[in-house]
């Protein structure tokens, strides 16, 4: 019985020592590791003005959705949010209004960002504190109700002829295209 107790105590000490060693190695690894931050990622976001002289872009579909693009912004990212090499984020602030007489569902997955080469990307989520609180996710709009939020896409840096493609899952196959400039 005494041998069993000694073996158990020895095993407990070895387990604690091994656990402490692992925690110490992880702590030292994170202490001495550093991540090189790309200088371009520290660029302050710039706002691109709409080239349409009529003001905000609007799209009304036959089934009661009205989408208004309020602002379009290009963003190179931050330490938290990094686009792929040679890409940048496009942040599009939109308002969705339900002009129908029934509830309408929406989701950020109903939208895609496309450049002039029809290279289309589904939405992304940014973690930057300036954008995370205003992101448009999903929900249901009662008749005449509206919601405003940011949609985020990733496109090639400097690409022109940007457009936002809107295709709700429950409306046929037609894709509505909103030119962003």
Count how many domains the chain has. Answer: 2
- 115 and 45 part of one domain: yes
Tell the residue number behind the tokens 């989408």, with chain if given.
67
Domain encompassing residue 29: 1-34
- Residue 82 Cα distances to 39, 75, 88, 111, angstroms: 11, 10, 8, 21
What's the confidence (pLDDT) of residue 52?
Answer: 37
116 and 170, same domain (yes or no): yes
- Flag whether pLDDT at 36 surpasses 50: no
Q: Indicate whether 22 and 67 sit together in one domain.
A: no
Q: Answer left, alpha or beta for residue 180, where phi above 0 means left and psi between -120 and 50 means alpha.
A: alpha
Task: Let me know whether 24 and 75 are in one domain.
Answer: no
**Per-residue pLDDT tens for 118-171?**
677 766 666 655 666 677 888 999 999 999 988 888 888 877 788 888 887 766
Percent of the chain with pLDDT over 90: 9
pLDDT of amino acid 19: 72
């Amino acid at each position: 019985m005494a041998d069993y107790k000694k073996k158990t105590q020895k095993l407990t000490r070895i387990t604690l020592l091994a656990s402490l060693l692992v925690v110490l190695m992880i702590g030292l690894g994170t202490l001495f590791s550093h991540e090189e931050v790309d200088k371009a990622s520290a660029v302050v976001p710039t706002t691109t003005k709409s080239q349409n002289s009529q003001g905000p872009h609007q799209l009304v579909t036959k089934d009661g959705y009205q989408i208004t693009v309020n602002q379009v912004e290009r963003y190179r990212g931050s330490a938290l949010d990094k686009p792929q090499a040679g890409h940048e984020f496009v942040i599009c602030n939109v308002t969705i209004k339900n002009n129908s007489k029934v509830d309408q569902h929406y989701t950020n997955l109903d939208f895609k960002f496309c450049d002039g080469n029809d290279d289309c990307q589904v939405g992304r989520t940014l973690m930057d504190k300036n954008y995370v609180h205003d992101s448009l996710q999903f929900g249901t709009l009662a008749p005449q109700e509206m919601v405003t939020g940011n949609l985020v896409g990733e496109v090639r840096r400097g690409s022109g002829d940007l457009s936002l493609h809107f295709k709700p899952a429950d409306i046929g196959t037609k894709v509505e295209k909103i030119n962003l400039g």
